Amino acid sequence: MNEPIYFGEEHLLFRDNLRRFVDTEVVPQAETWEAAGMVPRAVLAQLGELGYLGVRYPARYGGAALDTVYSAILAEELGRSSFGGFAVTVLVHTDMASPHLANFGSPEQLSRYLPKVIKGQMITAVAVTEADAGSDVAGIRTHAVRDGADYLINGSKMFITNGVHGDLYFVAAKTDPKAKGSRGISMFIVERGTPGFSVGRSLDKMGWRCSDTAELIFDNCRVPASGMLGKENQGFYSIMRNFQNERIVLGAQAMGEAQRGLELALAYVGERKAFGGVLWDKQAIRQKLAMLAAKVMAGRQLVYHAAWLDAQGRDCVKEVSMVKAYCGELVNEVMYACQQFHGGFGYMRGTAIERLVRDARIQSIGGGATEVMLEEVAKRL
């Protein structure tokens, strides 16, 4: 597949090295992780040692100091593994949770946590979503009140990736009960084992089986005032700032998955015999796959254009929202057709295409539902 114009030799080298790691260290083992419902910490530590967990972070903390285009490459290659749970376990850590620390942490917080985050010695999660507050962040009910030198956090969070096995949680809580809407929200750093903090339950999902997902409970969870991330009542800006990054990598992951689905379908229809020939000989099938390949190429170009705009510091809310909406819907369209062309075999558990179909479904929901993204685009037309 033609590479985006934003790629140079260094981007291709980064991609090829990562692809080798995924093909040799992830794909052969990931079925076991699916059954266990988690990615082993040793694998995440390997990624950290190789430098993939600190792609965008400063060199002084152990990061690679690269830009958004590299984050998109990382996400695309992880998606191409065909194990969406593995991909999102890594991407939540690298591009959805830890950026809250990197962007708004104090010098003391950065020195204490970021080197361990980059090495994979501390795995992160971001706890914003609640049962009644997903894309509508303003609806969160978890609250924190000052108690001497500490804050007491009360409430619960839902659908938190890395919630079961994480070490460091970035938690959104209302600190000004009188503030309207999204105002009055603050972010807190909560470590595993903090008194009053617990995992309510591990959630069983349709797809992304090897990513752990949890409900989190905060019952007078005592966090020192020094554990506030950024300024009091300014947490909404942290959340909104990182939505851009989150949506780019989710779009890139979706396009990696779509490419893998097409590869599997092309291989299958080239061998499967029916009605006196292979399925590829059927005009309707090869034209459908050709059109899907064109759409996936367009989706990839859109992803990398948005990533490049972000790397240049340009306003790209419209383009990023387009990425999330288009790629989230497209990956589902691709998987539906590719499974169809696999026939009954595509419906069997244990096949890559069946897993890809299940994993794709969340892409139009998580990280900003398609309908919400389209509203963001419509505001800017």
- The yes-or-no answer on residue 10 being catalytic is no
DSSP per-residue codes, 312-356: TT---HHHHHHHHHHHHHHHHHHHHHHHHHHGGGGGSTT-HHHHH
Give me 230's structure tokens: 């950024």
Give the C-alpha separation, 174 to 155, whole Å: 10
SS3 label, residue 216: strand
SS3 label, residue 90: helix
Q: Which long-range contacts (CB under 8 A, 24 or more apart) does 191-197 make?
A: 191/167, 192/166, 192/167, 192/168, 194/221, 194/222, 194/223, 195/221, 195/222, 196/152, 196/153, 196/220, 196/221, 196/222, 197/153, 197/169, 197/221
Pairing verdict, β 168-174 and 197-202: unpaired
Cα 376 from chain centroid? Answer: 20
Q: Name the phi and psi angles at 366, rounded to 5.
A: -70, 150
Q: Pick the catalytic residue: 130, 246, 319, 376? A: 246
- Taking the CA atoms of 84, 87, 93 and 96 in sequence, report the sign of the dihedral they define: negative
Give me 158's structure tokens: 């839902």
Give the C-alpha separation, 198 to 183, whole Å: 27
Instruction: For residue 175, give the amino acid letter.
Output: T
Angle between the N-to-C axes of helices 317-342 and 283-311, in degrees from 0 to 180, rounded to the nearest 10:
150
Angle between the N-to-C axes of helices 283-311 and 235-269, in degrees from 0 to 180, rounded to the nearest 10:
150
Q: How far is CA 20 from CA 14, 15, 69, 336, 345, in A?
A: 10, 9, 19, 28, 28
Query: How many CB atoms within 10 Å of residue 255?
Result: 31
Residues with catalytic roles: 246
